[in-house]
Every structure is written in C-alpha cells, then in structure tokens.
Amino acid sequence: MTEFTMTTDADGVATIIWDVPGKSMNVMSYEGLAQVDKLMDEALADDAVKGIILTSGKEGSFAGGMDLNLIAKMKADAGDNPAKGLFDGVMDMHRLLRKIELAGMDPKTQKGGKPIACVLPGTALGIGLELPLSCHRIFAATNSKAKIGLPEIMVGIFPGAGGTTRLVRKMGAMAASPFLLEGKLVDPAKAKAAGLIDEVTDDPMAAARDWVLNAKDADLVKPWDAKGYKMPGGAPYHPAGFMTFVGASAMVNGKTQGVYPAAKALLSAVYEGALVPFDTALKIEARWFTSVLMNPSSEAMIRSLFINKEALEKGAVRPADVADQRVKKLGVLGAGMMGAGISLVSAQAGIEVVLIDQTQEAADRGKSYTSDFADKGIARKKTTPEKKEQLLSLITATTDLGALKGCDLIIEAVFEDPKVKAEMTQKVEAVIPEDCIFASNTSTLPITELAKASARPEQFIGIHFFSPVEKMLLVEIIKGKGTGDRAVAKALDYVRQIRKTPIVVNDARFFYANRCIIPYINEGIRMVAEGVEPALIENAAKLVGMPLGPLQLVDETSIDLGAKIARATKAAMGDAYPDAAVDDVIFWMENLGRLGRKTKAGFYSYDEKGKREGLWDGLGGSYAIAEEQPELTDVQHRLLFAQSLEAVRALEEGVLMDIREGDVGAILGWGFAPWSGGPLSWLDMIGAPYAAERCDQLTAKYGDRFTCPDLLRDMAAKGQSFYGRFGETAAAA
Ligand SMILES: C/C=C/C(=O)SCCNC(=O)CCNC(=O)[C@H](O)C(C)(C)COP(=O)(O)OP(=O)(O)OC[C@H]1O[C@@H](n2cnc3c(N)ncnc32)[C@H](O)[C@@H]1OP(=O)(O)O
C-alpha cells in the first residue's frame, strides 16, 4: 500500500505527501516508515531537488501518530529476543529522523544540506509531531480545531521517536514538561507561542515553498548541533537545571505514586539524555522507550484506553440491524444535578432539550447550570457569549409535560424512589410519541422493575450517567429483561452524539460500576473496623494507582448515601448480607452527622471552606488502631481483589457481556488503576494461577467474599488469560 508519494516541480522543490489510503487520518506503520525513508534518500541524492516539503494529503490533519494498534503488538511482533528487536526498531526510527535533520549536510562544515520543511494542515500528534520536529522548519495552517502535541503518556508510553530528546533541547525541561509529562495538546497558535512549531499561516504550503527556496545553510543547523549549544533552562549539572529535574521528579512521583512505568522511564530518559551529546541521548531514549514497550502496562493501557475505548465508541456492541437512532429532541425529567448535567452535555451536542421539573423555579435552576458552565468557559476564553446564547436556546426549562411532544428520547432523573419514577413514567408515556424511548438514569434501582410501570417495556432502558456529567466520560447502558434492540441502539447512538464512552450491561443489583466500587469502599471501611491505620488504607489505595482512597471516596459520595445503600442491600439479601462490620462504622458516622465532604466532616476533616485537611483523628476513639498492622501488599490486594473479583462475577453472571466493557468501564467509571488496563487486565497481568492462589489465602484470612470465582479457577487450571480465553472480539458470550 502506497502511503507516501513524491513529486518534484520545475524549481526543484520535492513535495512528499503522506496519505494513507482508506484512513480518515494518517497513522504511521512499518511500511510508512520504510516508504518515507526511501523517498527522503531519493530526494537527498537527486541533484535536481533543491529542497523538500513534507506534508499530508488529509484535510485538516497531518497525523494521529504511530498506529497504536501496531504499538500494542510490537512486543509480540519483535521476535525471539523482543527487547533487542524493539530497541533495533526504535533505533531505525531515530536514524531516519536524524537523517532528515542532517539533510545530507557536510558534518564538518555543516554546509550543503537540503532544506526540509514540514507543513501541517492540522492535527499532528505523537510521531506525527516527532517527524516534523526533525525537519528544519514547521509551518501550520490556521486551524483552531487542530491538536498539536505528544499525547503518548496518556496511553502508557512516551514520545520515543526522538520527541523527548528534541523537545527538551528545543525548549528546556521546564517548558517541555507539560507536553511530555501531561500529554498537553494545543492549537497551532499556542503551539507556535510555546515554540513547538515555527509559523502559522493561511497558506502554509506557499510559505514553506518560499522558505525552502531561500533557506541558507545556517537555517538547517539545529541548535543542539550548533557550536556552543546550551540547553534552555540549564542541563542537570547546572544548579537551575538541577532544581528543574528534582522538581519534575517530585511532581511526577506525587501525581503517579510511581505506578506508571512510562512516567518514570520518561524522566530517566530526559535526565540521563540531558547529560550527554545528542546522538547518545537518542540511544538512551531508545533504551527507556524499549523498557516501556516491554512492560505489560503499556500494552494494557493502549488496549483499554485507545483501541477498545474507541471500538466501544464506534459501535462495537451496537445491535447491527437497527437503523440510525440519533436523537433529535430529548426530554429530561428532573432538573437536579444529574438532569441539569444531562441537559448541558446534550445541548453541547446540538440536541434540542426539554428540561422538566415540578416548579418553574427548579427547572430554571437546572438550566442555569448550563448558563454558569458557559460563563466559566467565556472567562477562560473557551467559548463566546454568542455560543452561550446558542447553547441556552436549545434548552427549554418548563413544568409543562406537553412540551415533551415530539421527543424521541426521554431520560428520567427524578428522585430515587420507585413510586415517584413509576408515576412519572406513566404520566410522560401519555404525552410522548408511541415510538419514543424512555430511559431511567437510576443508579440503584433495577431497570426490569422500573420497566413494569411502562406500557412499552421493550422501549424502556437504563442510561446511567456518572457525576459530574460533563466531566465523567463513561455512560452505563442497562438492558432490562424486556428491553429491545432499538432501545439499546438509541441509547448507544445518543451516547455517541454526546461524545462519551458507552458500555452495555444486563440488569442486576447496582449494574456494573457501582457493583464493583461498593466492595472497594466497603473493604476500606471494614479495615477501619478492624483497627487498620486509616492512613495505611488510603495510601495503599493510592500506591496501586486508585485516584481516591476508599475513605475519601465515601466522603465524596456521602456517608448517608452509603448508609442508605447498606440498608437497602440488607433488606434485599436478608441473612446472606455480608457487610455488618461495615454498617457498624457507617451508621456510627451517620449518627454523628459526619456525612462526608458535604457536611465538612467525614472520615476526613475539612476546613471552613470545605478543603480537605487530613484524616479525622476522632476515628481512633471508637475504632482503636490495632497494635499489629497488616502488610502493605495485603491491604493493596484486599482493595484490588474486592473490585476485580466483583468484575469477574459480573462476567460469570452475564451482567458484563464483553470483557472490553469490563476494563474500559472500570477505568472511565470509577478510575480503577489505569496503569493496569482495568480489573480483568490486572488479573491477566498477575496471572490466573497466582490470582486464584491469592484468593484462597485472602479467603482463609479475611472471609468468603474473596472466594475464587469458578471462571478464574478454571482459567488458572487451563493457564488462560481473559484476553486469551475470550479471543479477538473479547466477547464473553
Ligand atoms: C513513537 C511514537 C509513538 C506514537 O506516535 S503513539 C500515538 C500517539 N498518538 C495518540 O495517542 C493519538 C491517538 N488518537 C487520538 O487521540 C484521536 O484519534 C485524535 C485526537 C488524533 C483524533 O480524534 P478525532 O478528531 O475525534 O478523530 P478520530 O475519529 O478519533 O480519529 C480519526 C481516525 O484516526 C485513527 N487514529 C488516530 N490516531 C491514531 C493512532 N495513533 N493509532 C491508530 N489510529 C489512530 C482513529 O482510529 C480514526 O480511525 P477511523 O477513521 O478508522 O475510525
């Protein structure tokens, strides 16, 4: 497949166009690298060529980077000695980019090279920016929608095609760190201001051509190849540079708790590379990049956070034979926090919204959420007053159910009371079109039960948002027993419209996400009851990559909600209810009125403004700290297994229908240790035999809730992994 082509004009300007057939955006492949390498060789050797322009044939983008599908299997493709195979492959990439950079110039005189410009019509990410960074000048089109940067760290790798070494030498470690360590993406104007690219213009091809035809020898010499080069901000052996590196290291460790291999490797590559000449630094970068590619975390992160996330967003689990169900008019019942957030994200997607509440004041308050959100955007120059008006014009706040006429989707977000919900369902079904889909945003009530109030149970479904709606990326779609395919397709098409990631699960107590997060919180609280040092519980959670410790999480979601869930679960389970020790602590806290952040008192103490201060020292008064504290690994495993075993049980019971959804949903829904790729990926990482053995040990020590699920036991016996057992499509059924 031809991915790069070259033409040379009468003035000797060779234009190399990157245009991968059948892709809406270029991505780099092994074949592409070989092709651009060959064309560069030809252009550099051809006396008729005076200069080169590298650009893309895609409108609005240069490239999305190296093909992440390829990176995910690079290790498997690298032969019997994968570390060597990977290192050699990375060094080949470095050689190509270095060849572009040196452009055939005489190494002694630094003269006689051919100018190479890169033209970016828009988005340029990963190697799609590293390749331009090796050229002599980068011209970008004026395109405020374009994203420019190095997002590799977000999927568990780092810019390993010279981007790390070049950026630090170009702008200094301090200025480079948001791009390298946080994967910050910017539009062309900001990229130019930051020094990532050189020019932004309406006609970048003309500007590049002009530059190529007039460039001087000195214009081709990169700062790091020029005599007397000094790293901006200082190299680590200078006091200022040293402090930058110490600060960056502390910041990275603070943010990642050392569990993300890519962040550590990146810092090492930057530090060690800054001490040595450029070409040696590239080798060091290649060595660290290889170590990251060898680490199972990078494969798991790419799989869950890019490949499978994207597959779910693009309809991997959508019923195939249902026509397009995009939403035109949405009715939202209940203008509280969830209803208001759902209205906001729907209006942002251009959907007409009718927001209903019992009083006009309540409905207006819900709409004002969108207004306030837009005001913040205006203050931060992310939107304009005109766009705000446009957004607000899409939302009708009213008490009149008649306004729901013509809606093709209703999302009910009223009080979590089955009676209230049933009444609303019936009232609303009387006015909406026959074919309208009715969804409940309940987080706790079974969909099949709620659907009993509906005259059209096949059109009844759960669409469960997480709070705050505008920030949380996951939407959990719940199929009740009677839910039909059109309702599932409608929910999926709607989630795609609002640009969130869906998972589809079968109905069961707490569905999937809450079902897994509750055992995590409960395990933390149970440890408090046992006298485990609360700081040990919270830190153990952070050290395995959970964004919030279980005690902080219950403070955020509120302790009275925890108590309410505990009462309802106990009522439903009767004697089989396993969490009495947890209730002891939860009800005690509830009686004390320490309900979490909202009362500025919970497992943590808060100041007047609600800022978290530290763990509440009164806890030890009733739940004395035991003299003997458990091993850190035991605490960590209790917290991880509590969630992961629940995910396995959800899979066994058919609540989860696809293991991709189990992993993606866990990371996006409740922040399950992203470095691991999700709970099922984590179990794959530690291996089923070890996981089963740990289950037995934890069961003997702490109780039956750690009993190894049959599925995991069977996998252990057969030496299987989840992704191995469930195959390419990863479908559980
Ligand atoms: C050593 C070097 C390492 C690297 O370079 S690692 C890769 C670093 N790059 C990334 O992490 C970026 C990943 N891609 C994205 O985040 C998004 O995509 C974009 C922001 C680039 C674009 O988003 P949007 O405008 O919403 O378009 P869309 O539909 O997501 O993407 C257009 C098509 O491009 C494919 N794509 C983009 N980047 C990559 C990539 N890096 N690897 C594989 N595919 C990619 C998508 O899948 C899709 O494809 P289809 O048109 O077939 O649906």
Q: Fold for 514-622, please state it.
A: N-(1-d-carboxylethyl)-l-norvaline Dehydrogenase; domain 2 (1.10.1040)
Whole-number pLDDT of residue 584: 85
What's the 72 CA to ligand 1 centre distance in angstroms?
Answer: 14
Average pLDDT of 93-118?
97
What are the extents of the domains in the chain?
4-294, 329-507, 514-622
Tell me whether residue 476 is one of the annotated catalytic residues: yes
Q: Whose CA is nearest to atom 43 of ligand 1?
A: 67
User: Whose C-alpha lies nearest to ligand 1, atom 20?
Assistant: 64
The CA-atom distances, in angstroms, between 159 and each of 18, 125, 130, 195 are 20, 10, 8, 17
pLDDT tier for residue 208 given thresholds of 50, 70 and 90 = very high
Ligand 1 atom nearest the C-alpha of 289 is 1
Cα–ligand 1 centroid distance for 25 (angstroms): 7
Does the beta carbon of 147 sit less than 6 angstroms from any atom of ligand 1?
A: yes
Q: Give the pLDDT confidence score for residue 251 in this predicted structure.
A: 81
Averaged over 47-75, what is the pLDDT? 96
Tell me the CA distances in angstroms from 132 to 56, 305, 637, one per residue in order: 11, 26, 45
- Per-residue model confidence as pLDDT tens digits over 672-693: 999 999 999 999 999 999 999 9
Range with lowest mean pLDDT among 133-147, 157-171, 390-404, 614-628? 614-628
The model's confidence at residue 727, banded by pLDDT at 50, 70 and 90, is confident
pLDDT at position 730 is 65
Rounded Cα distance between 44 and 29, Å, is 22
Helices assigned H by DSSP within 412-512? 418-429, 447-450, 485-497
Q: pLDDT grade, residue 254 (50/70/90)?
A: confident
Strands (E), 550-700: 604-606, 612-615
Percent of the residues in the chain that have a pLDDT greater than 70, as a whole number: 99
Specify the residue with its C-alpha closest to ligand 1, atom 21.
64
Cα 117 to ligand 1 centroid, rounded to whole Å: 23
Point out the catalytic residue in the list 443, 454, 644, 681: 443
Segment 336-359 shows an average pLDDT of 98
Is residue 305 lining ligand 1, measured as CB closer than 6 Å? no
Mutational pocket test of ligand 1: of 36, 71, 95, 125, the residue with most ligand atoms within 8 Å of the beta carbon:
125
Length of the chain: 733
Q: Is residue 309 within 6 Å of ligand 1 at its C-beta?
A: no
Alpha helices in 275-384 (DSSP H): 278-294, 296-302, 309-313, 337-348, 360-379
For residues 367 and 242, the model is more confident at 367
This complex has an ipTM of: 0.98
In the block, residue with structure tokens 């200082």: 234
Q: What is the 3-state secondary structure (H, E, C) of 686-728?
A: HCHHHHHHHHHHHHHHHCHHHCCCHHHHHHHHHCCCHHHHCCC
Q: Is 721 in the pocket of ligand 1 (CB under 6 A)?
A: no
CATH of domain 329-507: 3.40.50.720
Q: CA gyration radius for the chain?
A: 28
What are 363-395's pLDDT values in tens digits?
Answer: 999 999 999 999 999 999 989 999 999 999 999
User: Is 4-294 in CATH node 3.30.1360.120?
Assistant: no
- Give the model confidence (pLDDT) of 147-163 as tens digits: 999 999 999 999 999 99
pLDDT, tens digit (0-9, with 9 covering 90-100), for 540-570: 999 999 999 999 999 998 999 888 888 888 8
Q: Please state the atom number of ligand 1 nearest to the C-alpha of residue 147.
A: 20
State if residue 523 touches ligand 1 by the CB under 6 angstroms criterion: no
Task: Please tell me the residue having the least CA distance from ligand 1 atom 44.
Answer: 67
Contact 462, 447 (CB under 8 A): yes
Helix (H, G, I), strand (E, B) or coil at 75: helix
Which of 94, 136, 464, 637 does the annotation list as catalytic? 464
pLDDT tens digits, 426-440: 999 999 999 999 999
- 56 beta partners: 18
What are the pLDDT digits (tens) for 523-542?
999 999 999 999 999 999 99
Confidence of residue 621 (pLDDT cuts 50, 70, 90): confident
Closest residue to atom 18 of ligand 1, CA basis: 64
Q: Is the CB of 307 under 6 A from ligand 1?
A: no
Cα separation, 529 vs 619, in Å, equals 10
Cis ω before 236 (30° cut-off from 0): no
pLDDT band of residue 580 (cuts 50, 70, 90) is: confident
Q: Would you call 443 a catalytic residue per the annotation? A: yes
The CA 61 to ligand 1 mean position distance, Å, reads: 11
Q: Determine the pLDDT at residue 240.
A: 76
pLDDT band at 237 (very low <50, low <70, confident <90, very high): confident
Of residues 534 and 621, more confidently modeled: 534
Token pair of 194, please?
Answer: 């930051």
Quick one: tokens of 385? 């007053």
| Nearest alpha-carbon partner for 427 in 344, 327, 419 | 419
Quote the pLDDT of residue 234: 84
- Cβ 516 vs Cβ 646: under 8 Å: yes
Q: Is 431 helix (H, G, I), strand (E, B) or coil?
A: coil
CA of 582 to the centre of ligand 1 (A): 45
Closest C-alpha to ligand 1, atom 19: 64
The answer to whether the CB of 110 is under 6 A from ligand 1 is no
- Is residue 514 among the annotated active site residues? yes
Identify the active-site residue in 134, 295, 514, 681: 514
- Distance of CA 313 from the midpoint of ligand 1 (Å): 13
Question: CB under 8 Å to 171, separation ≥6 — which residues?
Answer: 194, 195, 196, 232
pLDDT band at 416 (very low <50, low <70, confident <90, very high): confident
Instruction: Label residue 733 by pLDDT band (50, 70, 90).
Output: low
- Choosing from 101, 412, 429, 476, which is the catalytic residue? 476
Tokens of 157: 């790798």
- How many CA within 13 A on the CB side of residue 200? 19
Q: What is the pLDDT of residue 529?
A: 93
pLDDT of residue 732: 62
Please write the tens of the pLDDT for every residue from 272-326.
Answer: 999 999 999 999 999 999 999 999 999 999 999 999 999 999 999 999 999 999 9
Q: pLDDT tens, 484-533? A: 999 999 999 999 999 999 999 999 989 999 999 999 999 999 999 999 99
Q: What is the pLDDT of residue 576?
A: 74
Q: Give the per-residue pLDDT at 257.
A: 81
Closest C-alpha to ligand 1, atom 15: 64
| pLDDT category of residue 243 using cuts at 50, 70 and 90 | confident
Q: 197 C-alpha to center of ligand 1: Å?
A: 20
Of the pLDDT bands very low, low, confident and very high (cuts 50, 70, 90), residue 258 is: confident
Query: Ligand 1 within 6 A of 25 CB?
Result: yes
Q: What is the reported pLDDT for 619? A: 83
Q: Across all residues in the chain, what is the average pLDDT? A: 95
CB 679 within 8 A of CB 516: yes
